[in-house]
């Protein structure tokens, strides 16, 4: 009997959509983790994979591991995706409405990842990038330069919820490293802001001192955590939200 020939097309890079389809693997045994990873990254169903030979399955999984191994999280203030230049909207330029929309989606950052990206990044309407080089990675160009330099060199379109939803759908195909980098940058900025608020108070209560210690611990976690997993970032977001709520009440 002839051996069944397996045909698998692997993607060029790991997208937001792949990341969300993969879901949580912690509760699975090793074989189920492999199967779920393959089905998240390919057109094959779990039922398909169950009919494969074990060595064929592991060859496909090794190919996926190579893709995952190339994820290098970094923050890209400006990138070109699908022929459109997008720029990060820093908090200092956000309206109350867009920040409120962002804050709601940060309650569940993994589920809402493409929507968060669609709020944080918008089409650039005016720019002055002449002195900065572009680099191509995973079929997406990004501008090289320090965020504080680049933020001054462009303007983005006005916030619009309909355009946000259209962007979110397209951003499902963004490399996951772009989303992880943006989320981590946003978290870091917010934690620094919280730290400044707490340290600027002249009459610190014991609760404020404890909050400051927690913020510093969270900042250390963001600096030390390996970047292909945003589980700690999710926990940090939950903590940050509760901290912001307490500050509002006070």
Q: Chain-wide mean pLDDT for the chain?
A: 78
Is 1 part of a structural domain of the chain? no
Q: Which residue range(s) make up the domain with 53?
A: 16-69
d(C-alpha 187, C-alpha 96), whole Å: 18
Number of domains into which the chain is organized: 2
pTM equals 0.74
- pLDDT category, 200, cuts 50, 70, 90? low
User: Is 103 inside a domain boundary?
Assistant: yes
What digits encode the pLDDT tens for the residues 156-178? 999 999 999 999 999 999 999 89
Residue 101 has pLDDT above 80, yes or no: yes
Is 10 within a domain?
Answer: no
91 and 158, same structural domain?
yes
């Amino acid at each position: 009997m002839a051996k069944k020939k397996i045909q698998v097309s692997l993607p060029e890079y790991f997208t937001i959509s792949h990341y969300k389809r993969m879901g949580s693997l912690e509760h699975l045994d090793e074989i189920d983790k492999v199967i779920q990873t393959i089905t998240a990254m390919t057109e094959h169903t779990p039922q398909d994979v169950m009919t494969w030979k074990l060595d064929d399955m592991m060859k496909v999984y090794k190919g996926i591991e190579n893709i995952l191994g190339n994820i290098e999280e970094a923050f890209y203030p400006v990138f070109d995706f699908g022929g459109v230049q997008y720029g990060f909207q820093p908090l200092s330029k956000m309206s109350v409405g867009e920040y409120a929309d962002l804050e709601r989606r940060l309650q569940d950052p993994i589920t809402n990842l493409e929507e968060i990206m669609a709020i944080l990044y918008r089409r650039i309407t005016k720019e002055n990038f002449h002195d900065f080089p572009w680099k191509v990675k995973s079929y997406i160009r990004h501008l090289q330069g320090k965020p504080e330099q680049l933020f001054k060199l462009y303007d983005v379109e006005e916030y619009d919820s309909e355009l946000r939803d259209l962007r979110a759908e397209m951003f499902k195909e963004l490399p996951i490293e772009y989303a992880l980098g943006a989320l981590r940058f946003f978290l870091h900025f917010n934690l620094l802001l919280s730290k400044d608020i707490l340290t600027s108070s002249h009459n610190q209560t014991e609760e404020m001192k404890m909050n400051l210690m927690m913020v510093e611990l969270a900042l250390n976690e963001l600096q030390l955590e390996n970047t292909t997993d945003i589980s700690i970032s999710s926990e940090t977001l939950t903590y940050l939200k509760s901290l912001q709520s307490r500050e509002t009440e006070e």
